[in-house]
Amino acid sequence: MSAFKRSFCCAVFALVVLGGCGATTYQTYAKNGASTAAVSRDQTECSLEANRLFPAANFPTTYPSGGYYGTGYYNGGWGLGVTYVGSTDVNAGMRNAHRNDCMRLKGYTPVVYPICTNDQLGGASYAPATGAPAPAPNICAVAQKDARPVLVDLSKPI
């Protein structure tokens, strides 16, 4: 198999694997009597505190790449390269844990909702749910492009 075909096959495989990596759940917090604005305000306060205590600490992430044929110092021959693929924030886990602890101390409970599928929505429109409804089969989150997901009740189309 030629190098081009091998690269093309690897790229197609990666796209197929990564295509199914979208979020399938949305986590938020619930507290009796708390409005959506109050939840958002408290989440922001906890996030700011977590970011201040555990700032981003990014380190490069690399992996060995395939061999290469070099000239110069090695006077020709095969060697191993290193490819930079991004970075890892080593404080992300601590920041997330602190944010969750902060919200729990404020009286919130973490709640996980599924993301609505196209089949569930069926082309209908739904009004946003008020407050933080209890998880139920008819409650799901509609993903928004530039904002947090919105919770809807599938039993109440508009």
Give the model confidence (pLDDT) of 59-88 as tens digits: 887 766 555 555 545 545 555 555 667 788
Long-range contacts of 128-132 (CB under 8 A, 24+ apart): 128/152, 129/153, 130/36, 131/34, 131/35, 131/36, 132/28, 132/29, 132/30, 132/31, 132/34, 132/36, 132/39
**Residue 6 confidence (pLDDT):** 44
Does residue 145 form part of some domain?
yes
* pLDDT tens sequence across 109-146: 999 999 999 999 988 889 888 777 778 899 999 988 87
**Residue 8 confidence (pLDDT):** 35
Both structure tokens of 17: 């694997």
The answer, yes or no, to whether residue 17 has pLDDT greater than 50, is no
**Residue 81 confidence (pLDDT):** 59
For the entire predicted model, the pTM comes to: 0.59
Does residue 2 form part of some domain?
no
Does residue 70 form part of some domain?
yes
Does residue 18 form part of some domain?
no
Does residue 41 form part of some domain?
yes
Does residue 125 form part of some domain?
yes
Does residue 30 form part of some domain?
yes
Number of structural domains (the chain) is: 1
Domain that holds residue 112: 25-157
